Amino acid sequence: MCHDSEVHVRRHLVAATLAAACLATLTAAAPSTTAPVDAITTGELERRLRFIASDALEGRDSLSPGFRAAAEYLASELRGLGLTPRGDDGSFLQRVTMRRTSVDAASTRVEFGGRSYTYGEDLLATSMGNATGPVVYVGHGWRIPTKQIDPFAGLDVRGAILLTLPGLPPPLTRRDLEGLTNGKDYWDPEENARALGAIGIIRVAGFEDLSDWQRTRERQLSRGTLIVDRLVPEAATVPVVTAGPRLLAALLRGEKESGARLHERAGTRDAGEPFALQPSRRVTLAVAARITREDTFNVVASVDGNDPIVGSQFIAIGAHLDHIGVTPERSGGAAPAAPVDRINNGADDDGSGVVALVEMAAAAIRAPKPKRSLLFVWHTGEENGGWGAKYLTTYPPVPIDRIVAQLNVDMIGRARKPGDQSAGNAALTGPDEVYLVGASRQGPALAQTIARVNKAYLNLTLNLKYDDPADPERIYERSDHFQYAQKGIPVAFFFSGLHEDYHRPSDEVDRIDFVKLQKVARTVLAVAWDLANAPSMVSTARP
């Protein structure tokens, strides 16, 4: 009998294999219907984008009134067009509840030797809880057996508070950990504390910690940490604090190494030897939190297929509705002579994808129905690591095993102009070019379909620069399609490239190339239509 996790892995592998096999079948022949691409016009794209990227929506931060207004706008438009609602309770909105954990500064402190050290001045906090015990210095605090890294060898840290340096032990980088599992292939400081019986962690503040100290403090007190409530159950945590210079100096006074020496070690990444502080020096960590819950939304709708057998299968098409909101005012310094634009309207990121999806949906609902259904999803929280896509693929509005492909459009509205030599636009594609990412990751079928449909239609240049698994920018992992791929669903990501206005208030409507946006939107709809109308020869049902 298999362990639950083994069953899950086996099912995932079977699902991925069948999805790829199914897609190969779906793409084996030309479509029986012509996609309604001519209905997508530059005028309608621009009209919609001038609202989605307007100052009135204040940058569409996922938890802002502006985002909610954008979601309600989409729901109203989809209702008027006559699409099928696929959100909660017969609506177009799928609720995604976020759990916010922020620091309660008044109740957060570190105590030892009859003194109390305060939050904000002497320490910052990243994980909540209470602990009292002796302290053991364990270098960077990571265990990686395959790299012969184990600062805990010969130490008993049960009931102790770990003192650690920031970051990874040299010469490791995050890339070295790709494909490995925390708690199985390696253990970070928090996992080590739980596994080895330690009760808390004090991190030595590094250079970056100190330079960002005030901003981190403000963020921990106001924004805090946000996680999708249903995806991460509340659990007991190990308290973790970052010690500033005064706290560290007092903690290590009279010990084997001073606070100043550990600050040096943090800078040089030379951990030295682990050691236990004097047993009589017992430290109390008290990290208190305030927990609140807030809602954001995916917007979900479908154009339902007309085939009695394959109509329950879905071609998903997605974009992300959120952006990064309003840039905070800088404190201090002279007041600017003129008003400064701080609203990040995200016309390209991803206003371009948002309006492209609306126009695809409008075109599809007015045309003769395809065989398979088209599922349109405007995700929330892409800018925060994929909140909405993670939620939707965990709590899907249609059976996840009926989604046979996912096409993602994110930043498809910009083109590099002739003669543009600016370094910030070096990665932009041309007016008849788009990056295609991930279409061949789960077999060649989807990439072959896209190439065939594109060649027979507008014949855009499909740039595969970011399709390389060794891409240092890891573009494949940086948008919503990645969460679908994690479920074994073949995906394709259409992307025009980063530019000098990325995540800046200057990402405005007047910089969008609407002719290119129209070309990409029409091409994506043509691909979706081809997939939706391809012959059915095998079942796509997955375990």
d(Cα 127, Cα 200) in Å, to the nearest integer?
9
Q: And the tokens for 224?
A: 């805090």
Please state, in angstroms and as integers, the Cα–Cα distance from residue 513 to each residue in 217, 453, 509, 524, following that order. 41, 23, 9, 17
Number of H helices, E strands in the chain: 13, 20
- Is the pLDDT at 16 greater than 60? The verdict is no
* Long-range contacts, stretch 427-430, CB < 8 angstroms, 24+ apart: 427/497, 427/498, 427/499, 428/496, 428/497, 428/498, 428/499, 429/461, 429/463, 429/496, 429/497, 430/461
Q: Is the domain of 271 the same as that of 168?
A: yes
Which conformational region is residue 141 in: left (phi greater than 0), alpha (psi within -120 to 50 degrees), or beta? left
Residue that is last in its domain, among 235, 253, 287: 287
Q: How many domains does the chain have?
A: 2
Neighbours of 231 (CB within 10 A): 13
Q: What are phi and psi of 40, to 5 degrees?
A: -85, 115
Q: pLDDT tens-digit profile of 64-94? A: 999 999 999 999 999 999 999 999 999 999 9
Residues 66 and 120 in one domain: no
Instruction: Note the pLDDT tens digit of each residue in 348-399.
Output: 999 999 999 999 999 999 999 999 999 999 999 999 999 999 999 999 999 9
The pTM (predicted TM-score) of the whole model is 0.84
Q: Given pLDDT bands bounded at 50, 70 and 90, which one contains residue 252?
A: very high
Final residue belonging to a domain, choices 260, 287, 314: 287
CA gap 536, 13 in Å, rounded: 23
Q: Which residue type, as a one-letter code, is found at position 495?
A: F
Does one domain contain both 280 and 304? no
Do the bridges between strand 314-320 and strand 403-409 make them parallel or antiparallel, or are there none, so unpaired?
A: parallel
| Residues 256 and 320 occupy one common structural domain | no
Domain boundary among 231, 258, 287: 287
Going by C-alpha positions, the residue among 348, 376, 351, 347 that lies closest to residue 362 is: 376
Summarised one tens digit per residue, pLDDT across range 139-180 is 999 999 988 999 999 999 999 999 999 999 998 888 888 778
**pLDDT score at 3:** 36
Do 209 and 224 belong to one domain? Answer: yes
Domain match, 358 and 406 both: yes
Q: Please, what is the average pLDDT of the chain?
A: 91
Q: Does a structural domain hold residue 2?
A: no
Which residues span the domain enclosing 515?
13-98+294-533
Separation of alpha carbons 51 and 45, rounded Å? 10
Residue 153: DSSP 8-state: T
For residues 299 and 357, the answer to whether their CB atoms sit within 8 Å is no
Cα–Cα dist 124/202, whole Å: 10
Residue 308 is assigned to a structural domain of this protein: yes
Centre a 10 Å sphere on the Cβ of residue 455 and count the other Cβ atoms it contains.
11
Any residues with CB less than 8 A from the CB of 516 and at least 6 apart, and which?
A: 412, 413, 414, 415, 431, 432, 496
Distance, in Å, from the CA atom of 285 to the CA atom of 268, rounded to the nearest integer, reads 27
Per-residue tokens: 50: 């001038």
Burial 48-76 (b: 16+ CB within 10 A, else e): bbeebbbeebbbbbbbbebbbbbbebbbe
Q: Are residues 31 and 65 in the same domain?
A: yes
State the DSSP code for 302. E
Rounded alpha-carbon distances, angstroms, from residue 469 to 15, 40, 280, 448, 456? 22, 33, 52, 18, 28
Is 6 a domain residue?
A: no
**Span 304-332, pLDDT tens digits:** 999 999 999 999 999 999 999 999 886 55
- 437 is a domain residue: yes
Q: Where are the beta strands (DSSP E) in 20-61?
A: none
Element (H, E) at 518: helix 514-533
Share of the chain above pLDDT 70, in %: 91
Q: Where are the alpha helices (DSSP H) in 27-163?
A: 42-52, 65-81
Which CATH number characterizes residue 181's domain? 3.50.30.30
Closest by CA to 64, choosing from 389, 318, 324, 291, is: 324
Residue position matching structure tokens 């295609």: 436
226 touches 291 (CB < 8 A): no
368 within domain boundaries: yes
The single-letter code of the amino acid at 40 is I
- CATH number, domain of 47, equals 3.40.630.10
Tell me which residue of 236, 153, 149 sits closest to 200, measured CA to CA.
236
- Together in a domain, 114 and 158: yes
Is the residue at 8 inside a domain? no
Q: Which of 165, 156, 131, 164 is nearest to 236 (CA)?
A: 131
Instruction: State residue 181's pLDDT score.
Output: 87
160 touches 199 (CB < 8 A): yes
> What would the pLDDT profile of 389-444 be if each residue is shown by its tens digit?
999 999 999 999 999 999 999 999 999 999 999 999 999 999 999 999 999 998 89
Give the DSSP H/E element, type plus range, for residue 530: helix 514-533
User: What CA–CA distance (Å, rounded) separates 240 from 300?
Assistant: 39
Q: Is residue 538 part of a domain?
A: no
Same domain, 302 and 438: yes
Residues 6+ apart with CB under 8 A from 523: 37, 434, 453, 454, 457, 458, 460, 494
**CA–CA distance from 38 to each of 167, 459, 521, 538 (Å)?**
53, 16, 11, 32
| 53 and 151 part of one domain | no
- Chain centroid offset of residue 344 CA: 18
Q: Please check whether residue 247 lies inside any domain of the structure.
A: yes
- Which tokens go with 57? 């929506």
Residue 293 φ then ψ, to 5°: -125, 140
Inter-residue contact 267 to 147 (CB < 8 Å): no
Which pLDDT score is estimated for 173?
87
pLDDT band at 223 (very low <50, low <70, confident <90, very high): confident
Distance in angstroms (rounded) separating the CA atoms of residues 369 and 383:
34
Are residues 267 and 386 both part of a single domain?
Answer: no
pLDDT digits (tens, 9 = 90+) for 477-525: 999 999 999 999 999 999 999 999 999 999 999 999 999 999 999 999 9
Q: Are residues 169 and 281 in the same domain?
A: yes
